Amino acid sequence: DQQRGVVGISIYTFGMTPQTNKEEDTIATQRARDFFVGWIMEPLIYGDYPISMKKNIGARIPTFTSCESKQVQGSYDFIGVIHYMNMNISDNYGALNIKLRDFNGDMAVNLIHDDLYSNTEYSVTPWGLQQELDKFKLLYGNPPLFILENGQRTASNSSLLDLSRVKYFHGYIGAVLDALRNGSNVKGYFAWSFMDVFELLDGYSASYGLYYVDRNDPELKRYPKLSAKWYKWFLMGRTSSIELVENEKDPSLVSNLGPLFE
């Protein structure tokens, strides 16, 4: 109370779309959302796990006592949202025939994505983030949300003129604004990341930073990328225009960005 702090929990989300118009893929998409998001949110809101999880996992999933159910409900101040990309979902109910199953087997879906485990840049599909923010509003009582991670992956040896990252931020921040206008209770947005760091899936082979870190320099010198200047201008209310930064020949945009690197 003295420090007026708040405590929340973060959830890794994906924009999810059925692979086909078949009913089983639509059901599978909801089941995937139950496993990725509902696994955490439904106990916090309703005091129990999603029905689809209890059905597929059976006796292996813990059971809440009445006291535990009441205790866990509402035990958060905010929800942190981590979001980078979308994926398509198809049904794989045959996976439930396997006796020894893990999380993916219990979920019984195929996660179809080209971006997650490759070194390619993420597709810019900001409607997926807006979709997930709207789901929090519709399904979970519109809790306070903070976007804790959202950013574009590029190769670690790419140019400081990272226009693709600017386009990514422009699209996804716009999606957050649209969600806000639709009544979503978003309280904050954090770009991932301030500078290039060691990534969980990519190590040093990919970068997300607004600032490039020269790891060959003993002092680890840092250089701002084009996205750093755009993000600064956006936060200052000066511009959010992509057209402006697309003109890379404009010296006002690329001055003081440091040297390009191969």
Q: CA 80, CA 145: separation in Å to the nearest integer? A: 6
- Predicted pLDDT of residue 113: 85
- Which residues, other chains included, contact 42 with Cβ-Cβ below 8 Å and sequence gap of 6+? 34, 48, 49, 50
d(CA 154, CA 211): 12
Angle at 40 between CA 14 and CA 60, to 5 degrees: 110
Q: What was the pLDDT predicted at 249?
A: 42
Query: Does the residue 249 lie in any domain?
Result: yes
Domain presence at residue 225:
yes
- The pLDDT, as a whole number, for residue 15 is 96
Across the chain, which has 262 residues, the per-10-residue mean pLDDT values are 88 96 97 97 98 96 96 97 96 93 95 72 94 97 97 85 93 96 97 90 87 92 93 82 57 44 31
**The pLDDT value given to residue 96:** 94
Quickly list DSSP for 158-188.
S-S--HHHHHHHHHHHHHHHHHHHTT--EEE
Read off the pTM.
Answer: 0.88
By C-alpha distance, which of 31, 59, 32, 62 is closest to 47? 62
Residue 220 is assigned to a structural domain of this protein: yes
Q: Are 163 and 253 in contact (CB under 8 A)?
A: no
For residue 110, the model assigns a pLDDT of 96
pLDDT at site 241: 66
In a domain, residue 164? The reply is yes
Q: What's the number of domains the chain is made of? A: 1
Contact predicate 112/44, CB 8 Å: no
CATH number for the domain spanning 113: value is 3.20.20.80
DSSP state of 97: G
Does residue 209 lie within any of the structural domains? yes
Residue 125 maps to a domain = yes
In a domain, 2, yes or no: no
DSSP H or E stretch at residue 12: strand 8-18
Q: Which domain holds residue 222?
A: 8-254
In a domain, 261, yes or no: no
